[in-house]
Amino acid sequence: MERKKVTIAELQQKKEQGQKITMMTAYDYPTAHLVDQAGIDTILVGDSLGMVMLGYDSTVPVTMDEMIHHCKAVRRGVKSGFIVGDMPFMSYQINVEQAVENAGRFMKEAGCDSVKLEGGSEMAPVVKAIVTAGVPVCGHIGLTPQTATMLSGFKVQAKDAESARQLVKSAKDLQEAGAFMMVMECIPDLVAKKITNELKIPTIGIGAGKNCDGQVLVYHDLVGLFERFTPKFVKQYVNLAPQVKEALVQYRTEVEEGTFPGPGHTFSMKEDEAEKI
């Protein structure tokens, strides 16, 4: 039986009923299809594609056109999952009008179900404007990769009481502005638990402990296809990179030795027909 389309109301209901929400990144059609077939609730087309798909050193260089391109591919591979498009750096920070316009592109051009943007209380007016325009917004607090330089690198956030209180305030401000869900990255589990308990909307953790309403990981981390580094919070369920490389080496060897393609991979014709050529 085919799954029905996941909705914001269903995600909210899961929180209220204590059922965990699953989220996974996807950046192309085949991956999105696999993730959707696995029954994942929400699919994030993250700007992390800049690093795992495009080879950038960070998420900062990713453009709106690149995000739209990948979101379109994901849309074609998903039937049931709820798609969240990640607004890239400087697509929503310059002014509210630009933020609303770019958020609209994720809906109109790419077919996303919502957008995600990074930032705390300072982003509440932007979130409110986008939501007022009819685009659902998922917040993202804690470690915000787009501004990692200002945070002195990819480090755990809210490790002391003062910064933790500010994070709680940011979460509440974004909820008040209309965010329907909150991603929390690289924060202590007790802080994540407090925010989850105090928010009415679902929380999704990535390096935020088990007390969030749901979890998200980067697909390439989970399956072992990104070898530059592996964050502490990642559980690698399979390590595909060595297997893929082994297959490629075997292919190269067989081609060089002339053993591929063999009879089973070759189209034939009758010899008498071949003689007429």
Question: Pick the catalytic residue: 118, 185, 257, 273?
Answer: 185
d(CA 87, CA 110) in angstroms, rounded, equals 12
Instruction: Identify the CATH number of the domain in which residue 218 sits.
Output: 3.20.20.60
Kindly state the greatest CA–CA separation across the chain.
Answer: 86
If pLDDT is split at 50, 70 and 90, which confidence band does 3 have? confident
Same domain? 189 vs 75? yes
Number of domains in the chain: 2
pLDDT of residue 29: 98
Same domain? 257 vs 212? no
**Residue 88 covered by a domain:** yes
Nearest to 48 by CA among 39, 57, 36: 57
pLDDT of residue 230: 86
If pLDDT is split at 50, 70 and 90, which confidence band does 236 have? very high
Instruction: Report which secondary-structure segment, H or E, holds 31.
Output: helix 29-37
**Residue 51 covered by a domain:** yes
d(CA 131, CA 141) in angstroms, rounded, equals 18
pLDDT of residue 153: 62
- Residue whose entry in the numeric block shows the structure tokens 């085949």: 30
**Residue 202 covered by a domain:** yes
Distance of CA 100 to the CA centre of its chain: 21
Same domain? 265 vs 177? no
If pLDDT is split at 50, 70 and 90, which confidence band does 218 have? very high
Exposure of 64 in the CB half-sphere (CA atoms within 13 A)? 14
pLDDT of residue 152: 58
Same domain? 19 vs 143? yes
pLDDT of residue 229: 85
Same domain? 18 vs 124? yes
Same domain? 145 vs 251? no
**pTM score of the predicted model:** 0.94
Query: What integer is the mean pLDDT of 39-59?
Result: 97
**Residue 21 covered by a domain:** yes
Query: What integer is the mean pLDDT of 246-263?
Result: 97
If pLDDT is split at 50, 70 and 90, which confidence band does 151 have? low
**Residue 2 covered by a domain:** no
pLDDT of residue 150: 64
Mean pLDDT taken over the chain: 95
- Whether the per-residue pLDDT at 149 is higher than 90: the answer is no
Range of the domain at 270: 243-274
Relative to beta strand 114-118, strand 82-86 is parallel
**Residue 3 covered by a domain:** no
Same domain? 250 vs 222? no
Same domain? 127 vs 231? yes
Query: What integer is the mean pLDDT of 138-151?
Result: 85
Residue 256 falls in the annotated catalytic set:
no
Same domain? 135 vs 152? yes
If pLDDT is split at 50, 70 and 90, which confidence band does 145 have? confident
d(CA 78, CA 84) in angstroms, rounded, equals 12
pLDDT of residue 2: 79
- Whether the per-residue pLDDT at 240 is higher than 80: the answer is yes
Distances (CA, A) of 270 to 173, 214, 266: 75, 61, 13
**Residue 47 covered by a domain:** yes
Same domain? 152 vs 265? no
d(CA 58, CA 148) in angstroms, rounded, equals 9
Same domain? 132 vs 267? no
pLDDT of residue 245: 97
Length of the chain: 277
Same domain? 136 vs 268? no
Helix axes 124-132, 96-108, angle to 10 degrees: 50
